C-alpha cells in the first residue's frame, strides 16, 4: 500500500504457470473447498495470535512496534467479525479510541468508502507514540491522483468501487492484462522486480463481485495459496520463481483470507 510448500509443489506451480499465455490458463484444477477452508483457518489463527492485549490492536507483523489503524486493523476486524466477534469489536473500539474513523480507500473492498472515486493521493501519518510503540494510519487527501491506471491494485479497487458495471468490468480487464502468468506486472512490479501478493487477493475479490471467471483465475488462486507461510500468515511479495520475499503481515493476510473465503 507479504512458505511455499514442498519442492514438488513448486514444480507443479511452475508447470501450471508455463501453461498460461497472456493471462489465459490452458488447464488447471481449482483447489478443493477443504483446502481453502484449512488455509483460511490457519490465517485466522495467525491474526488472532498477533493481538496485543495492551492496545487491542495487531502490529504490522510479528515483532513489529508499528500498529496501522488503516488498513491493517480495520481489515483484521472485518475478517474476524464472524468467527471472533468480541475480538473484532475490541479492535474497532481501539481504532475509534484514537479518533480515527476512516481511511477513504481500503473501505472500497466492503463498499464503505464515502468518496471512492476519483482516486486521490494518500498520506501515511503518525497518530500517537506509546512508549516504544507507534500508532499509524493512512488517510486520503483531496489531491486527485493521475496515472493510477498503471497499477493493478488501483484498477481492481476501481472495479470494486465503480457503480457502472460495464465500466467496472473494463477496469477489471485492464488489470488482468497486466497478468504475466506469474503475477501482476504493473508499474510497481516493474520498478521493484517482485510481485505483490495482495494484488492476487484483490483480483479474486473483484472477479467474484463482477461474476467474472477468466481462465487465469485458477492460477491466481494457486499463486495466492502458495504465499501462505507456515505460521498461517501471507507473505507480502514473491519473485518470478515464486520464492517468498518479505514477511507475513496483517494487511496481506486479511485480504488473502477474504479472497480464499469467497467474501
Phi then psi for residue 226, to 5 deg, are -70, -15
Task: Give the position of cell 472495479.
Answer: 159
| Section 34-48 average pLDDT | 97
The terminus-to-terminus CA distance of the chain in angstroms comes to 21
Domain spans, the chain: 7-260
Pick the range with the lowest mean pLDDT from 18-22, 24-28, 68-72, 76-80. Answer: 18-22
| Section 134-155 average pLDDT | 97
Cis peptide before 118 (omega within 30 of 0): yes
pLDDT at 17: 37
Query: Taking 80 as the threshold, does the pLDDT of residue 6 lie above it?
Result: no
Q: Beta strand 120-130 with 195-196: parallel, antiparallel or unpaired?
A: unpaired
Query: Taking 70 as the threshold, does the pLDDT of residue 126 lie above it?
Result: yes
pLDDT at 10: 29
pLDDT higher at 11 or 108: 108
Return mean pLDDT, the chain: 90
pLDDT band at 13 (very low <50, low <70, confident <90, very high): very low
Summarised one tens digit per residue, pLDDT across range 167-222 is: 999 999 999 999 999 999 999 999 988 999 999 999 999 999 999 999 899 999 99
pLDDT at 210: 97
pLDDT band at 5 (very low <50, low <70, confident <90, very high): very low
Phi then psi for residue 134, to 5 deg, are -120, 125
Q: Beta strand 120-130 with 133-144: parallel, antiparallel or unpaired?
A: antiparallel
Rg of the chain over Cα atoms, rounded to whole angstroms, equals: 18
| Section 128-140 average pLDDT | 97
pTM of structure: 0.88
| Section 28-43 average pLDDT | 92
pLDDT band at 7 (very low <50, low <70, confident <90, very high): very low
pLDDT band at 30 (very low <50, low <70, confident <90, very high): confident
pLDDT at 56: 98
Helix (H) or strand (E) holding 91: helix 85-97
Summarised one tens digit per residue, pLDDT across range 79-101 is: 999 999 999 999 999 999 999 99
pLDDT at 28: 59
Write the CB contacts of 49 (distance below 8 Å, at least 6 apart in sequence): 231
pLDDT at 178: 97
pLDDT at 263: 83
Amino acid at each position: 500500500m507479504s512458505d511455499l510448500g514442498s519442492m514438488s509443489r513448486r514444480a507443479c506451480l511452475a508447470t501450471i504457470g508455463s501453461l498460461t499465455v497472456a493471462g489465459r490458463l490452458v488447464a488447471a484444477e481449482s483447489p478443493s473447498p477443504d483446502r481453502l477452508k484449512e488455509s483460511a483457518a490457519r490465517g485466522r489463527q495467525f491474526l488472532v495470535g498477533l493481538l496485543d492485549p495492551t492496545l487491542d490492536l495487531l502490529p504490522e507483523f510479528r515483532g513489529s512496534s508499528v500498529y496501522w489503524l488503516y488498513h491493517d486493523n480495520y481489515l483484521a476486524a472485518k475478517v474476524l467479525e464472524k468467527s471472533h466477534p468480541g475480538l473484532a469489536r475490541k479492535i474497532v473500539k481501539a481504532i475509534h479510541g484514537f479518533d480515527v474513523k476512516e481511511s477513504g480507500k481500503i473501505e472500497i473492498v466492503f463498499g464503505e468508502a464515502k468518496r471512492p472515486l476519483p482516486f486521490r493521493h494518500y498520506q501515511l501519518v503518525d497518530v500517537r507514540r506509546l512508549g516504544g510503540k507507534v500508532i499509524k494510519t493512512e488517510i486520503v487527501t483531496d489531491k486527485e491522483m493521475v496515472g493510477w491506471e498503471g497499477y493493478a491494485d488501483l484498477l481492481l479497487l476501481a472495479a470494486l468501487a465503480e457503480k457502472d458495471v460495464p465500466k467496472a468490468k473494463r477496469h477489471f480487464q485492464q488489470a488482468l492484462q497486466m497478468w504475466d502468468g506469474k503475477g501482476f506486472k504493473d508499474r510497481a512490479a516493474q520498478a521493484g522486480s517482485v510481485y505483490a501478493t495482495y494484488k492476487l487477493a484483490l483480483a479474486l475479490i473483484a472477479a467474484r463481485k463482477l461474476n467474472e471467471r477468466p481462465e487465469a483465475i485458477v492460477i491466481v488462486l494457486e499463486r495466492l495459496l502458495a504465499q501462505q507461510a507456515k505460521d498461517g500468515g501471507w507473505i507480502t511479495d514473491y519473485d518470478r520463481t515464486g520464492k517468498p520475499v518479505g514477511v507475513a503481515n496483517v494487511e496481506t493476510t486479511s485480504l488473502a483470507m477474504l479472497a480464499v473465503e469467497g467474501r
